[in-house]
Structure 1
Amino acid sequence: MNKILLFNPKSAVAKHRIPNSILNIAASVEGRYEWVIVDGNCEEDPLSKIEEYLNTGEYKYLGFTVMPGPQLRQSIPFSKAIKEKFPHTKMIWGGYFPSSHPKVILESGYIDFIINGPGDHAFPQLIDALEYGTPYEFIKNLIYLAGNEVVKTAKEDLMDQDSLPTLPYNKLDTFYSIVNRYLGKTYLGNKTVAYHSSIGCPFTCSFCAVVPIYEARWKAKSAQTVYNDIKYIKDKWGADAIEFHDNNFFVSEKRTVEFAKLIKPENMSWWGMARIDTMDKFSDASLAIIREAGCKIIFFGAESGNNLILEQLDKGGTQTGEQIIRFAERLKKFDIIPEYSFVLGTPAPTAEQVQAQIDFEIDFIKKIKHVNPRTEIVLYTYSPVPTEGSTLYKQVQSLGFKYPQVLEDWISPAWESFDMRKNPLTPWLTPEMIDKIRNFEIVLNGVYPTVTDIRLNTLKRRAIKLISSFRYKIDLYKYPYEIKLLQRVWRYRQPEIQGF
């Protein structure tokens, strides 16, 4: 009775991705413990599937990967139900959400341990300790409850990524067909694979959930290892495009160019995330090679065109508003689409200042669209991240912001919207401010529908642009019901919520 069940809670209604985080954990125990995967994206009734395994009496350990937002809908009630029905099981959560909110999770009474960051070593070491009754207090990357005290063990140095075992794709394929379940049709290609080539990020943005976990550290697989993995998936299952879900894929120009040269003959399209000030240092030759190798679109955290806001967000590096516009224009000649995210609604001393900041960002975004209309714009409202010692987090606490004190409260509709950075629940933002952000977003997406929505044909794009353009030109954003209706009828796809 020492088998392991690994659960990937439902995160999307379509275009499901390979559950890489759970596969990493599976790889860490492969050959030591028997394991199975239950994917909430692929099961009509995942709780029944989990209970079917547990009813055999062979499974004692459950590992859940838990991201903020939709995954909480299954993670919280499932964990509670399982613990009540199978009290002997050990419930272990990993992912950004539990690492950021350990107290409310452990005090729920039905989660036993949290893996705080990479679990490649921590997870199997914890299972060994629980199996053999040895101490787990010195296992790194662990959070648990000792009496009424939340205990966080020391952080482990990031391990060499090339030394980690290859993910067990073949065994995943026996549970859920990779071709039928995980290689979806997207803007990038007909069979798009999700892949992680690195962990962490070398920056300390105060609004980012990665920072408390990785503490400005970054480790990557070599270009050759990444290519070998992708080539294997392409040859075996026919993948023709790649989504790199790294927090920051383009940290190293040398590694990026080396990978581009390796992948170019495979004729695959790809996408990844980067920083503007990092990639602006790339040479023109490097950017040309990256595009020739199939890179079509890159996500950048622009966040704000206001240098004071960038400083408030502790963006770090050398990014400026001027650079954001200039870089969008620079990418035009390489035919690479920049996908810029902006964070609106950061705290300020007065309501007038908050509103002025929102108005500034709207005008700034329109300037970007003027120099490069193909720039994709993703809008978020600022959602606090519990970064210990962060000046910004102290500021939001002083203004009255509080997280839920009971775990079940996180699955209310309001807090789920908070996790998606659409409804901030922050006391300094008035309903009128939030409406202005959302209404501008509706108009903006009407004039410039995202290129990643492959269901929106040319006729529909022209029609919605025609209807939206007048509002956009005269800054009339209130009550855009006619645009909203078309977006709803045509099921307009927002990549920040639904992916490509």
Structure 2
Amino acid sequence: MKQNKIIIFNPKSANSKHRIPNSILQVGASIHGKFEYVFVDGNLEENPWLTIENYLKTGEFKYFGSTVMPGPQLRQAIPFTKKIKVEFPEIITIWGGYFASNQYKVCLESGYVDYVVNGPGDTTFPELITTLENNELDKLPTIKNLIYKNEDDKIVKTAVEALLDQDTLPKFPYEYLNSFYPVRNYLAKTFMGNTTLSYHSSMGCPFSCSFCAVVPIYNAKWKGMSASRIYEDVKYFKEKYKIDAIEFHDNNFFTSKKRVLEFSELIMNDNLSYWGEGRIDTINMYSDDDLKLMRKAGCKMIFLGAETGNDAVLKQMNKGGKQTGQMIKDFVLRMKNADIIPELSFVLGMPAPTEKEVYKQILWDINFIKEIKQINPNAEIIIYLFSPVPTEGSELYQQILDAGFHFPEKLEDWISPSWENFDLRKNPLTPWLKPYMIDTIKNFETVLNGYYPTVSDFRIKGYKKPFLKTISFLRYKFGFYKFPYEIKALHKLWKYRQPEIEGFYSE
């Protein structure tokens, strides 16, 4: 007898990172005990399609749900979903994740994505399954956070649900995941520790930066678990798996100072290190004593969106808050004094009225980055090329459209190498950013990572760092960035891990 079970799929991410799949665990938690389901993790499967196909061949499954983040996950999400519709046309396909929410039109027009969960699916996903199981399609418009095509082939985007109290949501089914993939395999060695837990403790972000993929989904809303609720899970992993570090992949872990300080007090004696993502203008309101407390509790590094040191461009980005170039400089000095490493991302290549102005701003930011390194040599620098996101209605998005930029019209086009690099903010495909500008940025980044090798790559040790610094010295000092082949060769030889963060596309 057909059981109408559900496959919940986590497509392979960049470099098959064995990070605990919080996105599919959240979906699993929403239906646990209500519907039968299985997990398939493309990062740990030798042949994930074969696993999916074998499940579907049993005739017991009716639904295929996939989280879909921009970039590498599309390589499996797109062809697998398309193949399901061809070989198993009765299967209902449901996508969630930032890509699906932001690019819902091209997803639904593909003909093989039936529904898109727009943002958190804690109530949306189980309500959708229940509605479909009961064949009550007239109730679809009442399900919040849902996008689909109606009988008239028109796209319907339902109301957005208010963010839920995170403490009241069901706990993630870690033990159930363990029946498919050993949870221990997800606890990897990182700069932070030998056994690092990836954790998600909040939803959304209270800001509206015009370049951020989160903004169209959460509309400047944020909700976080309480410190005590987070600590329950941390204790579980500490006792069962002996974790020694935590990476908080929230869009903005440090939004609530009260929560952060309470959590720091709770883990004070647990000998754990932690890392999270935050905003400079938010954490700048923490006192020096607050920062010292966090460091004592194990906060070793914080990822922060510096974006640019130019106040006019910060305004163009709708960065919000009170962040300025001078604040960035003052803040990295405070972090140095607190012994917390600031991991700063910069977004280069914003549109400007003329080609000359675009390039001038790039050179300006390169010099600003060098100023930051002079103030705090331990500051990590991550450089992205500006890649537009569909923040419809924003002034910046209109500038982008006016300049001739447009997204792919076919879903399959997103898995071309150029658009995958676009998603990873490595190749913007924007008409105003010329090849020589991209070369300048990438060559500077190579020289920077030669003169200041990242501390997060624990494999680069011993003589390697001073040797890299020595051969990069003259280039860095005199600003000669062209053709840094000798640095690239050593990076390749030593398998150097360039600083990067998936914070723009967190799970």
Instruction: Give the TM-score, by structure 2 length.
Output: 0.97
Counterpart Cα distance in 2 of 1:495 and 1:21: 23
Counterpart Cα distance in 1 of 2:337 and 2:432: 41
Change (3 A) 1:498 1:133: closer
Partner of 2:428 in structure 1?
424
Counterpart Cα distance in 2 of 1:242 and 1:12: 20
Counterpart Cα distance in 2 of 1:286 and 1:297: 15
Identify which of 9, 12, 29 aligns with 2:11: 9
Counterpart Cα distance in 2 of 1:298 and 1:162: 24
- 2:159 maps to 1:172: no
Residues paired across the two proteins, number? 498
1:469: Cα distance to partner?
Answer: 1.1
Letter in 2 for 1:152: K
Q: Please list the CA deviations of residues 54-85 of structure 1 after superposition, one character each: whole Å capped at 9, or x if unmatched.
A: 11111111110000001000000010011111
Contact 2:329 2:375 in 1 (8 A): yes
- 2:392 maps to 1:372: no
1:242 alignment partner, SS class = strand
Letter in 2 for 1:158: L
Letter in 2 for 1:186: T
Contact 1:91 1:112 in 2 (8 A): yes
Partner of 1:250 in structure 2?
254
- 2:315 maps to 1:289: no
Contact 1:15 1:185 in 2 (8 A): no
- 2:398 maps to 1:394: yes
1:285: Cα distance to partner?
Answer: 1.3
Contact 2:380 2:499 in 1 (8 A): no
Gaps of 5+ in 1: none
Gaps of 5+ in 2: none
Contact 1:420 1:497 in 2 (8 A): no
Identify which of 111, 116, 119 aligns with 1:117: 119
Counterpart Cα distance in 2 of 1:28 and 1:260: 29
Counterpart Cα distance in 1 of 2:395 and 2:501: 29
Letter in 2 for 1:261: E
- 2:31 maps to 1:26: no
Counterpart Cα distance in 1 of 2:501 and 2:410: 25
Counterpart Cα distance in 2 of 1:132 and 1:163: 27
- 2:284 maps to 1:280: yes
Counterpart Cα distance in 1 of 2:502 and 2:244: 20
Partner of 1:148 in structure 2?
153
1:370 alignment partner, SS class = helix
1:492 alignment partner, SS class = coil
Counterpart Cα distance in 1 of 2:499 and 2:367: 22
Identify which of 96, 99, 107 aligns with 1:105: 107
Partner of 2:413 in structure 1?
409
Letter in 2 for 1:144: Y
Change (3 A) 1:69 1:346: same
1:497: Cα distance to partner?
Answer: 6.1
Partner of 2:44 in structure 1?
42
Letter in 1 for 2:52: I
1:136 alignment partner, SS class = helix
Identify which of 187, 190, 193 aligns with 1:186: 190
1:50 alignment partner, SS class = helix
Contact 1:12 1:41 in 2 (8 A): no
Partner of 2:480 in structure 1?
476
Runs of 4+ in 1 over 6 A off after TM superposition: none
Identify which of 163, 168, 175 aligns with 2:168: 163
Identify which of 73, 87, 90 aligns with 2:89: 87
Identify which of 224, 246, 268 aligns with 1:220: 224
Counterpart Cα distance in 2 of 1:189 and 1:329: 25
Paired-residue identity, %: 60
Partner of 1:231 in structure 2?
235
- 2:125 maps to 1:132: no
Partner of 1:76 in structure 2?
78
1:12: Cα distance to partner?
Answer: 3.0
Partner of 2:215 in structure 1?
211
1:426: Cα distance to partner?
Answer: 0.3
Q: Please list the CA deviations of residues 115-173 of structure 1 after superposition, one character each: whole Å capped at 9, or x if unmatched.
A: 00000000000000000011212100000012332210000010000000010001111
Counterpart Cα distance in 1 of 2:324 and 2:57: 57
Counterpart Cα distance in 1 of 2:250 and 2:46: 29
Partner of 1:487 in structure 2?
491
1:495: Cα distance to partner?
Answer: 3.3
Instruction: Give the TM-score, by structure 1 length.
Output: 0.98
Letter in 2 for 1:154: A
Counterpart Cα distance in 2 of 1:14 and 1:61: 25
2:343 alignment partner, SS class = strand
- 1:327-476 alignment, distance < 5 Å: 327-476=331-480
- 2:71 maps to 1:66: no
Counterpart Cα distance in 2 of 1:497 and 1:282: 24
Letter in 2 for 1:243: E
Letter in 1 for 2:167: D
Counterpart Cα distance in 1 of 2:251 and 2:27: 19
Contact 1:187 1:452 in 2 (8 A): yes
1:13: Cα distance to partner?
Answer: 2.3
